[in-house]
């Protein structure tokens, strides 16, 4: 998306970030692929989230959203350390109409710093000091699902495009949603930041959000609703 909207999905979401104080040893990372019905810029399309093992306790979390106007692709390689999901590297590319953008991020935990290359301003290229528990926007998706299930506070620090941003989601109750043609009870969580709002629906035993809605100025900008997962 453009600079203001692209990261939901690294959900800063609208961009569908945020989606991680992760300390739940019983929570295990498993490979999965989820297909989504996606709406972006008012046009229907397809979306996909997946987590795939990379070996040596490393995983790749991917998100893609495509329609005739938008082509978003985000990939984060991460590991798990002391119960925390820790980003190691990421690639974020987008095409909105004819505008293209691509940014790569390296998280060097040996130096406790993150750096950026690609289509980013020099003053945002870093290095930026990392703190234990820092995540990118994609990993926040997994953290929200885990922390809702564990009843933990939904507070995170997201690292993106040369900045660190605290994020807090509030539980807004239960709501029935349709997943793969079946009605499911979901926990609805909301984050509001000025004129932007991110809403996430979490269904028990589902490894990723069942739905992610990003709104700006009261209008839906990105909407992902799960169709199937395995």
pLDDT tens-digit map of 139-156: 998 999 999 999 999 999
Query: Which of 6-10, 91-95, 118-122, 164-168 shows the lowest per-residue confidence on average (mean pLDDT)?
Result: 6-10
Give me the pLDDT at residue 27, please: 55
Angstrom distance (rounded) from CA 116 to CA 124? 8
Could you state, in order of their start, the residue ranges of all structural domains in the chain?
A: 6-169
Dihedral angle of Cα 174, 202, 216, 49, to the nearest 10 degrees? -160
Q: Is the pLDDT of residue 3 over 50?
A: no
Query: Positive or negative, the Cα torsion across 216, 3, 14, 135?
Result: negative
pLDDT in tens, 179-192: 878 899 999 999 99
pLDDT in tens, 68-121: 888 999 999 999 988 889 999 999 998 888 789 999 999 999 999 999 999 999
Cβ 203 vs Cβ 185: under 8 Å? yes
């Amino acid at each position: 998306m453009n600079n203001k909207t692209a990261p939901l999905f690294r959900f800063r979401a609208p961009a569908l970030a945020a989606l991680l104080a992760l300390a739940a040893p019983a929570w295990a990372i498993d490979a999965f692929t989820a297909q989504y019905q996606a709406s972006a810029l008012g046009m229907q399309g397809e979306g996909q989230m997946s987590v795939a093992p990379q070996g040596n306790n490393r995983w790749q979390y991917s998100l893609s959203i495509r329609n005739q106007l938008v082509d978003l692709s985000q990939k984060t390689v991460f590991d798990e350390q002391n119960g925390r999901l820790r980003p190691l590297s990421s690639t974020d590319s987008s095409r909105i109409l004819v505008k293209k953008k691509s940014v790569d991020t390296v998280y060097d935990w040996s130096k406790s710093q993150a750096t950026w290359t690609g289509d980013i301003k020099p003053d945002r290229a870093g290095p930026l000091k990392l703190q234990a528990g820092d995540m990118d926007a994609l990993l926040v998706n997994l953290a929200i699902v885990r922390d809702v299930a564990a009843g933990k506070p939904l507070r995170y620090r997201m690292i993106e495009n040369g900045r660190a941003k605290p994020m807090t989601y509030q539980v807004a109750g239960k709501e029935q949603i349709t997943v793969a043609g079946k009605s499911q009870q979901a926990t609805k969580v909301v984050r509001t930041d000025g004129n932007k709002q991110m809403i996430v629906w979490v269904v028990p035993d589902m490894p990723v959000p069942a739905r992610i809605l990003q709104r700006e100025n009261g209008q839906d900008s990105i909407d992902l609703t799960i169709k199937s997962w395995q």
